[in-house]
Amino acid sequence: MKVRIKFSKHGAMKFIGHLDTQRYFQKLNRRAGLNVAYSEGFSPHQKMSFAMPLSVGLESEGEYLDLELKDAPSVTDWMGDHMTSDDLVNALNSCGSEGIRITDCVRLPDKADNAMASVRAADYLVRFREGYEPGTDISDLVRDFEDSEEYLIKKPVKKASKPRRKKNDDNEVEAYNEIDLKKLVYELRCVEDGIFIKASAGSKDNIKPDLVIRSLYEKAGIELAPFALVITRLELYTDNMVPLLDAGDAF
């Protein structure tokens, strides 16, 4: 039985990297008494996969974890063999730490793609850290983006098949790909508490929200200070903009 777990990540836990998040859930699953399936071999590990691990320093309302359980799941002996989605959520939250909260859980079809392979797009909310707000109104830059037929930017890359290269002011060679943000940013608008972005995500075309915002200001000749942005991931989507949670059903 495969389940997909949705969780949020806030506070100090946003500074926990992906490997430590994996270890956290391995311990959490054991404490909650989940009958987790393990791989075979000399070093067995819990069968789990995460959907597009979050960058360190980002908060999220829409993180996903796929977990494989053995036969009919039961959290603990006293709960019996008829565990529901709510039972699983409550069991995990009762053993968890502040900053990570399980918000939902569904059962996946047997042939469902894993969470990592399913991601096609993501929603983000971007705000400016207090004291780091630029003088230029972001709404004007967003309007320029909306009015453009194409919006070419340079996306830095470490490895690429045919990256373009140039020397920067420090005479260092930079590698980058030129991309059109209009094709990869599906929605960009100002909202009451920041800037909302819906952009391509996943293994093929992954657009980070800070790249979008910094590119808007670079077009206006403004360079944002490091750590100026506070970013929260809101949701992850599969094809046709379907949230990952919709791939399964409550049990």
Domain with CATH 3.30.70.580 in the chain: 2-117+240-247
Three-state DSSP string of 165-201: EEECCCCCEEEEEEEEHHHHEEEEEEECCEEEEEEEC
Q: Lowest mean pLDDT: which of 36-50, 125-139, 149-163?
A: 149-163
The model carries a pTM of: 0.87
Is residue 213 scored above 90 in pLDDT?
Answer: yes
Name the nearest CA neighbour of 184 among 235, 157, 145. 145
The whole-angstrom separation of Cα 179 and Cα 188 is 17
3-state secondary structure of 116: helix
Say yes or no to pLDDT of 81 above 70. no
CB 54 within 8 A of CB 60: yes
Residue ranges of alpha helices (H) inside the chain are 18-31, 85-95, 115-118, 138-147, 181-184, 209-219
Contact 244, 4 (CB under 8 A): yes
Q: What is the mean pLDDT of residues 217-243?
A: 95
Q: What is the pLDDT of residue 176?
A: 81
Give me the amino acid identity at 64. Y
What's the CATH code, domain 2-117+240-247?
Answer: 3.30.70.580
Model pLDDT, residue 75? 43
Give the type of residue at 202: G
Determine what percent of the chain falls in helix, strand and coil, rounding each to the nearest 5: 25, 35, 40
Q: How confident is the model at residue 76 (pLDDT cuts 50, 70, 90)?
A: very low
Going by pLDDT thresholds of 50, 70 and 90, the confidence category of residue 230 is very high
Positive or negative, the Cα torsion across 60, 66, 69, 71? positive
Mean pLDDT of 150-154: 93
Q: Distance between CA atoms of 228 and 190, rounded to whole angstroms?
A: 17
Judge whether residue 163 has pLDDT over 80: no
The model's confidence at residue 74, banded by pLDDT at 50, 70 and 90, is very low
% of the chain exceeding 70 in pLDDT: 89
Q: 71 or 33: whose pLDDT is higher?
A: 33
